Structure 1
Amino acid sequence: MYKLIQSVLDSDEKTALRQLIFTLTATGKRYLLRNEILLAFADYCHQFQKPAYFYHSSSIGKLIEYTHEIILDEESTWFVIRPRIASQEVWRIKEDLTSFEMMTPQALLDVRDRFQRGVREASRREAHRFQRGVREASRREAHRLINGYQPHILEIDLHPFYENSPTISDPRNIGQGLAFLNHYLCNQLLTDPQYWLEILFQAIHGLRHDGIRLLLNNRIKSGIQLAQQIHQALKFLSQRPPNEPYEKFRFDLQQLGLEPGWGNTVARVSETLQLLDRLIDSPQPAILEAFVARVPVIFRVVLISIHGWVAQEDVLGRDETLGQVIYVLEQARSLENKLRADIKLAGLDLLGIQPQVIILTRLIPNCEGTFCNLPLEKVQGTENAWILRVPFTGANPEVTNNWISKFEVWPYLERFAIDAEEQLLAQFKGKPNLIVGNYSDGNLVAFLLSRSLKVTQCNIAHSLEKPKYLFSSLYWQDLEDQYHFSAQFTADLISMNAADFIITSTYQEIVGTPDTVGQYESYKCFTMPQLYHVVDGINLFSPKFNVVPPGVSEHIFFPYSQTADRDSNLSQRFHDLLFKTENPQILGYLNNPNKRPILAVSPINAIKNLTGLAECFGKSQALQERCNLILLTSKLHPSEATNSGEAEEIQKLHDIIHNYHLYGNIRWLGMRLPSREMGEAYRVVADCRGIFIHFARFESFGRSILEAMISGLPTFATQFGGSLEIIEDRDNGFHLNPTDLEGTAKKLLDFLDKCDAHPEYWLEISEWMIQRIRHKYNWELHTNQLLLLAKMFSFWNFVCPENNEARDRYMEVLFHLIYKPRSEQVLMAHQNKKHKVQK
């Protein structure tokens, strides 16, 4: 970037930069983000009649293309530049454009703080006075501020804990930690084969389950002897029928030092031993992965999902947690089935070993007619997967007996983890082998439990709140009463750094795209003024990051064309419900029910942006002439909302429908549909050759996108978030910019034109989307990868132990000195609400 900035300042483009900065200053804004910067530069180019090439190809054009933030200080302009994915540079250019220099992260955080203080401290006049005060400060003070010195602010820097760790070098390989570790370990095996043979022996030799020895007994005492006995065992097995069951030769193998766990037949045991033999002789990543996948080390798994209504019978959480609850229930079923199959293939079912999966959540006494007050509930469709509910305990049962929003749970998590540990040990009759946290609260509890039990920890964020809310960390104090971000962002820092590995649904969830910052990347460097600075919050190149997309239940969501699996009566009922039936929870009627339906399924909130979709539809007469809009939500009236933001969005949607006179072209169903019925709703719309739209301002992943695509609906989705990876190729024709209503309408109309001109086009896109989900987004692939990651990182921690104890001690300091005081503020707020109600 140095050469690029120098080229601007050494050429005629210096004048253009001066004019652009003047234009930005004239807007009155001092802090501009990427979209504002690009629009301002486009306006500048138009205003000053720059040639077409100037916007993209000039040096200043390239500089603006890389710029994600501009901060206008009194004596300089700060450029936050992202030259490539997962990389950021900060440059300060003097006001007179005579010099520039690269600045430290600390300096950037300080200037952000100064900006925030200036905005918070007063009105525009007072802000002007503030800026004048900075100008008039002494030279020493100005120098101190400019060079990034701010006393009495805690700096959090996690970089030292990753300094000596293996690190991915190519940004394109971020999220492929498993493949990286396989190559790294194999290289180590090749470097010192005798040492690694001994380490490998020790890792296998120590395996037990409930006191039962697995794989090796004490007859084998070294790595060299292990290699010798493998050859003896393979020679012995070569003389027996491949399908002979393990129990018939079990004792022969024990005489050779081999205990149960290698396989359930002669063929399976031989294959596993051959993998180990090849690994010892010629380490290769594919062989290491195949062998580790067969090692029986995981039998008990805890999935933590705390704040939602984790229940079955179509309860499935509140709107804010619906996707997470579905995810965890389906994951539990898939895990239990996979573990059971693996145990049988390993020959361990003969020893009575059974898998056990527990979904750990909170017990809610005032459960509103659900089963959320049951301490233990079996997961439907499993033999030994359970929902274990542990209550929140505290001094305010008026709060803890009820459901609590995900933004309010923080004071109760530490006690919950302590109580849950006792109940988990009792339920398992031993320790779990893997703990998987879900969302910020579940991940923090996973940290506390794994730290106490010394168990492998996996984190799944689903969605990090920090990047969802503009300037959420910079203005955390203004948002604290409603969202308590100080506790949440601290909890995120603790759990994501303490985790052994992190699962994400997409690559962009980690590091975004060339144009957007990733969710985890937003934790790399940020300020929470007057609380702390995060100088380096996470190593994005760490192999702990792994992209493992979830699946979708194909028993519920399957293609419309699978007519043999469909209930014709249910199909007819849902056709009537979507297009004809009158109901107090349905708004609108259809003048022409035969027009092509546009379906949207979503909770109602500002981020999901159903109001934006309705406005897009209302502004396009062409869309209204050719389509009907069908909205499926859980609520229809503002009185049903659980918070003011939701109520405002519901009312806004009513206003848009009224203002654009959409009643004859829209059906808004405000009712919670059970999952099986929801699956049929997608298929009914596909029967009518409809389309599905997900129009969120941001979506970390989007389960409804998977559901719609597997049902056979051509699907258009927001370009901001994980749908970029779910829907790929096809010339970007199915990605929508929710801020561009006219462009969205045009994309939809272009698709309709193609379908009208070539009816087979709809069928072609429908089939492509079905196959896309089947081949990449299925629970079997997800579960295989999850268990392989757990095994590999357990093996990694054994053979290459890092300085994790120091890291975890650092996390404990953050927990006790920052997180707990902030969470206690939430508790005080709850207690104050109680006292106000009593008065």
Structure 2
Amino acid sequence: MYELVQAVFNGDEKTALHQLIYTLSASGKRYLLRNEILQAFADYCHESQKPAYFYHSSSIGKLIQYTHEIIIEEESTWFVIRPKIANQEVWRLTANLDSFEQMTQQALLDVRDRLVNRYQPGILEIDLHPFYEDSPRIDDPRNIGQGLAYLNRYLCNQLLTDPEYWVEMLFQALQGLQHDGIRLLLSDRIPSGIHLAKQIKLALKLVNERSPHEPYEKFSLDLQELGFEPGWGNTAARVSETLELLDRLIYSPEPGILEAFVARVPAVFRVVLISIHGWVGQEDVVGRDETLSQVIYVLEQARSLENELREQIKLAGLDQLGIKPHVIILTRLIPNCEGTFCYLPLEKVQDTENAWILRVPFGEFNPEITNNWISKFEIWPYLEQFAIDAEKELLTQFKGKPNLLVGNYSDGNLVASLLSRRMKVTQCNIAHSLEKPKYLFSNLYWQDLENQYHFSAQFTADLISMNAADFIITSSYQEIVGTPDTIGQYESYKCFTMPQLYHVVDGIDLFSPKFNLVPPGVNESIFFPYSQKENRDSNLCTEIHNLLFSREDPQILGHLDRPNKRPIFSVSSISSIKNLAGLAECFGQSQRLQEHCNLILLSSKLHPDEATNPEEAEEIQKLHNIIDRYHLHSKIRWLGMRIPSSSLGEAYRVVADCQGISVHFARFESFGRSILEAMISGLPTFATQFGGSLEIIENQEEEFNVNPTDLVETAKKILDFFEKCNTHPEHWQEVSEWMSQRVHNRYNWHLYSNQLLLLAKMFTFWNFVAPENNEARDRYMETLFHLIYKPRAEKILEKHMGANS
């Protein structure tokens, strides 16, 4: 960026820069973000009658396009410039415009602290850079999130560079495999990597003389004589393929061969999925609004992983030895569980053979708090003891250690980190949604928000778990590093301040191969295309149609004067971020939308007195006010009730029968399960441009991604779509089919589970052959835990212990 900065500073455009800064200063704002900066520059160009090219193509125009923040002080103006994804530069311009110099990240953090009058010299600095300095690192930002592919190439290069050493390490990794005392793959008869390479040839000769379909049991003793234990395959053909992959890997290593071989290695049998703060129950008892999708996700995750593990065990020929997969969802036991089964210590997951919900109670503190459900913002004081207690229970249930720990959400990830450290087990993190980027300036003003949200504990927990994790999976690329115009969720942890607590100078390496894209799937037995008439229940269809369009109920607001208009359908919990009120406002402001469409909203609540917190009550009331202000009672149906998943699937299909659309209007959505559910049902879906939906609706972004802050443009996009459908009746059908196939092919649980288990095996192998700086890193994480996290959590506990006293 140096050349561009110099072009502005030393050229004719310096005057324009000075005038722009003067205009910004005159506005009274001292901290401006990208959208405000772009708007201010557009206004400046218009008022100064600049030529059309000036906004985009001038040097200052290009500089402004790259600028994400401007901070104005008396003596200087600071520019935070993002010249490319995952890269940030800080430049300071003095007030008299006599110098423009590049500054450090530390200097930027000091400026932000001064901005809120909370500057503290000598503040603690957190810098994780040294722990990634000597690690393999992705070079191209476009490949961020493709860590597995990178590791495959890296390891194959190592095999080529120093084949003897790496073959020996590969041998040692395979030789150590066992399950419940049963040796797998290799016995002591094979003492070294060199000997393994020779024995593979003999084993291949033996199995290739057999019929391809001959069961492993028929020739197992012959293979054992050569030093090969069970686990290579269930038939002669499968054993031959696996041995051939290993043989090719030793002599001509290629990434595809390595991945195919590692995928077949029987190394994962016991998996723990950690999901703590939700009401993890079944029979549609799936938690509060803030945890609803989380519980659905983890139940489907458990079923899918058990299916995949069972299939892998069978193909490896290990089912004949009585080996079975064992999946545990680890959550908290809630004594006052409001009529649910969340008081049961152990509950089998429906539609599985050996997947269980294991519930561990929180320690004995104040039972007035710990006997009840606890919000994700308040849960932090109980997690350390929970991890200690959970370890004992897991060892009892498994009768041994698990092979993989998967954390879900910030609290689950912290517990996964604690358990991984104690048990020496591979750890995977899934954030789903990080709170810091969702709440604007939440780190900068953390002290003002602390009583309500306790962000100091949460953001510290995030830092600890994301760096301690062996690998991280995300649903989308933007979750890691955003887009050219927006900062990614993980990227927001790269450099930030918690004034008067600590500075994060370098919080995470975004180029680390630990990041991998593994999007979740959809339960296709519940959510399937409306066109599959043979799979639909006609009685349920009639019932749901009446519910959506005509049934009277105390929990339904609105009566449609013209029910045959195209329906706009939106399913969401009620919060300022989910923004149902914004969608209603968009509908209310557009007479043309009201002429052509009805609006149908499905949330869990209808009245403010049903809210569980003040923000929710405020949003519910806001929605009522909008409906009243725009007189929408005859054009809207608002269903404030929970309906079972089977009914929700049919609701999407009923709206599709009417050739309607789905709109997901969140201010930010890290991914969006409801987007997938609507799309696979065959419902053309408009989704927020802020978040992962950009990747879900790939190649159709211009038409179907909407800006929830631009109500006029959103209404225009929807009307343009319906106009196309009216002009070309086949258009709705074409979009419907494309969206349904997009989700079916890209977002399915089989792909997810297969990839997750492959990552677990690869990173376990990687940690064995090249453990890097993990011990030093983990000790640093322990220091952060005891120095910062625990004192912050103890402050929450003090408040809880004083409750009701």
For normalisation by structure 1, the TM-score amounts to: 0.95
Number of the residue aligned with 2:220? 250
Number of the residue aligned with 1:99? 99
Number of the residue aligned with 1:682? 652
Does the aligned pair in 2 maintain the 1:520–1:540 contact within 8 Å?
A: yes
Number of the residue aligned with 1:293? 263
Q: Identify the match of residue 251 of structure 2 among 257, 281, 285.
A: 281
Q: Identify the match of residue 514 of structure 2 among 534, 540, 544.
A: 544
Secondary structure of the structure 1 residue equivalent to 2:804: helix
Number of the residue aligned with 1:12? 12
What is the CA RMSD across the aligned residues, in angstroms? 0.8
Match status 1:372 vs 2:339: no
- C-alpha distance in structure 2 between counterparts of 1:196 and 1:613, whole Å: 58
> Match of 2:709, as an amino acid?
T
Number of the residue aligned with 1:833? 803
Number of the residue aligned with 2:173? 203
> Match of 1:790, as an amino acid?
A
The 5 A counterparts of 1:187-226 are 187-226=157-196
- CA deviations 1:220-267 (Å, max 9, x no partner) are 111111111111011111211111111111111000100000000100
Does the aligned pair in 1 maintain the 2:9–2:100 contact within 8 Å?
A: no
- C-alpha distance in structure 2 between counterparts of 1:340 and 1:54, whole Å: 62
Number of the residue aligned with 1:608? 578
The 5 A counterparts of 1:287-686 are 287-686=257-656
- CA deviations 1:670-717 (Å, max 9, x no partner) are 000111110000000000001000000000000000000000000000
- C-alpha distance in structure 1 between counterparts of 2:167 and 2:274, whole Å: 36
Per the TM alignment, residue 5 of structure 1 is displaced from its structure 2 partner at its CA by 1.3
Per the TM alignment, residue 627 of structure 1 is displaced from its structure 2 partner at its CA by 0.4
> Match of 1:362, as an amino acid?
R
Which of 450-459 and 793-802 deviates more? Answer: 793-802
Secondary structure of the structure 2 residue equivalent to 1:80: strand
Secondary structure of the structure 2 residue equivalent to 1:244: coil
Number of the residue aligned with 2:38? 38
- C-alpha distance in structure 2 between counterparts of 1:294 and 1:824, whole Å: 46
> Match of 1:533, as an amino acid?
H
- C-alpha distance in structure 1 between counterparts of 2:80 and 2:305, whole Å: 44
Does the aligned pair in 1 maintain the 2:230–2:318 contact within 8 Å?
A: yes
- C-alpha distance in structure 2 between counterparts of 1:591 and 1:637, whole Å: 23
Number of aligned residue pairs: give it. 805
Secondary structure of the structure 1 residue equivalent to 2:116: helix
- C-alpha distance in structure 1 between counterparts of 2:701 and 2:438, whole Å: 27
- CA deviations 1:517-545 (Å, max 9, x no partner) are 00000000000000000000000000000
Per the TM alignment, residue 568 of structure 1 is displaced from its structure 2 partner at its CA by 0.1
Number of the residue aligned with 2:663? 693
- C-alpha distance in structure 1 between counterparts of 2:2 and 2:611, whole Å: 52
Does the aligned pair in 1 maintain the 2:395–2:401 contact within 8 Å?
A: yes
Secondary structure of the structure 2 residue equivalent to 1:302: strand
The 5 A counterparts of 1:63-212 are 63-117=63-117, 151-212=121-182
> Match of 2:202, as an amino acid?
Q
Per the TM alignment, residue 833 of structure 1 is displaced from its structure 2 partner at its CA by 2.8
For normalisation by structure 2, the TM-score amounts to: 0.99
Per the TM alignment, residue 2 of structure 1 is displaced from its structure 2 partner at its CA by 1.4
- C-alpha distance in structure 1 between counterparts of 2:17 and 2:341, whole Å: 63
Match status 1:809 vs 2:779: yes
- C-alpha distance in structure 1 between counterparts of 2:319 and 2:748, whole Å: 27
Does the aligned pair in 2 maintain the 1:473–1:526 contact within 8 Å?
A: yes
- C-alpha distance in structure 2 between counterparts of 1:615 and 1:82, whole Å: 34
> Segments of 4+ in structure 1 off by > 2 A?
831-835
Does the aligned pair in 1 maintain the 2:495–2:504 contact within 8 Å?
A: yes
- The structure-2 alpha-carbon separation of the partners of 1:731 and 1:806, relative to structure 1 and needing over 3 Å to count, comes to closer
Per the TM alignment, residue 393 of structure 1 is displaced from its structure 2 partner at its CA by 1.3
- C-alpha distance in structure 2 between counterparts of 1:275 and 1:410, whole Å: 47
Does the aligned pair in 1 maintain the 2:428–2:472 contact within 8 Å?
A: yes
Secondary structure of the structure 1 residue equivalent to 2:443: coil
Per the TM alignment, residue 394 of structure 1 is displaced from its structure 2 partner at its CA by 2.9
Match status 1:263 vs 2:233: yes
- C-alpha distance in structure 1 between counterparts of 2:66 and 2:604, whole Å: 41
Secondary structure of the structure 2 residue equivalent to 1:219: coil
The 5 A counterparts of 1:715-726 are 715-726=685-696
Per the TM alignment, residue 801 of structure 1 is displaced from its structure 2 partner at its CA by 1.4
Does the aligned pair in 1 maintain the 2:274–2:412 contact within 8 Å?
A: yes
> Match of 2:106, as an amino acid?
Q
- C-alpha distance in structure 2 between counterparts of 1:275 and 1:563, whole Å: 45
Per the TM alignment, residue 555 of structure 1 is displaced from its structure 2 partner at its CA by 0.5
- C-alpha distance in structure 2 between counterparts of 1:731 and 1:314, whole Å: 34
Unpaired runs of at least 5, structure 1: 119-144
- CA deviations 1:385-425 (Å, max 9, x no partner) are 00000011132000000000000000000000000000000
Secondary structure of the structure 1 residue equivalent to 2:803: helix
- C-alpha distance in structure 2 between counterparts of 1:240 and 1:12, whole Å: 81
Q: Identify the match of residue 764 of structure 2 among 794, 797, 814.
A: 794
Q: Identify the match of residue 784 of structure 1 among 745, 748, 754.
A: 754
- CA deviations 1:82-115 (Å, max 9, x no partner) are 0000000000011111111111010000010001
- CA deviations 1:442-484 (Å, max 9, x no partner) are 0000000000000000000000000011100010000000000
Number of the residue aligned with 1:128? none
- C-alpha distance in structure 2 between counterparts of 1:582 and 1:355, whole Å: 48
> Match of 1:634, as an amino acid?
S
Does the aligned pair in 2 maintain the 1:69–1:79 contact within 8 Å?
A: yes
Number of the residue aligned with 2:684? 714
- C-alpha distance in structure 1 between counterparts of 2:320 and 2:162, whole Å: 38
Number of the residue aligned with 1:129? none
Per the TM alignment, residue 730 of structure 1 is displaced from its structure 2 partner at its CA by 2.6
- C-alpha distance in structure 2 between counterparts of 1:508 and 1:151, whole Å: 35
Which of 444-453 and 796-805 deviates more? Answer: 796-805
- C-alpha distance in structure 2 between counterparts of 1:238 and 1:804, whole Å: 43
> Match of 2:69, as an amino acid?
E
- C-alpha distance in structure 2 between counterparts of 1:335 and 1:88, whole Å: 39
Does the aligned pair in 2 maintain the 1:394–1:412 contact within 8 Å?
A: no
Does the aligned pair in 1 maintain the 2:694–2:701 contact within 8 Å?
A: no
Per the TM alignment, residue 731 of structure 1 is displaced from its structure 2 partner at its CA by 5.5
Q: Identify the match of residue 770 of structure 1 among 740, 749, 768.
A: 740
Per the TM alignment, residue 48 of structure 1 is displaced from its structure 2 partner at its CA by 1.1
- C-alpha distance in structure 2 between counterparts of 1:241 and 1:152, whole Å: 73
- C-alpha distance in structure 2 between counterparts of 1:759 and 1:658, whole Å: 35
- C-alpha distance in structure 2 between counterparts of 1:191 and 1:7, whole Å: 46
Match status 1:704 vs 2:661: no
Does the aligned pair in 1 maintain the 2:66–2:82 contact within 8 Å?
A: yes
Per the TM alignment, residue 591 of structure 1 is displaced from its structure 2 partner at its CA by 0.3
- CA deviations 1:198-236 (Å, max 9, x no partner) are 111111111111111000001111111111111101111
Per the TM alignment, residue 174 of structure 1 is displaced from its structure 2 partner at its CA by 0.1
- C-alpha distance in structure 1 between counterparts of 2:237 and 2:225, whole Å: 19
- C-alpha distance in structure 1 between counterparts of 2:669 and 2:561, whole Å: 33
- CA deviations 1:547-570 (Å, max 9, x no partner) are 100000000000001111110000
- C-alpha distance in structure 2 between counterparts of 1:22 and 1:705, whole Å: 44
Secondary structure of the structure 2 residue equivalent to 1:733: helix
Does the aligned pair in 1 maintain the 2:588–2:627 contact within 8 Å?
A: yes
- CA deviations 1:614-654 (Å, max 9, x no partner) are 00000000000000000000000000000000000000000
- C-alpha distance in structure 2 between counterparts of 1:239 and 1:163, whole Å: 51
- C-alpha distance in structure 2 between counterparts of 1:587 and 1:630, whole Å: 10
Secondary structure of the structure 2 residue equivalent to 1:117: coil
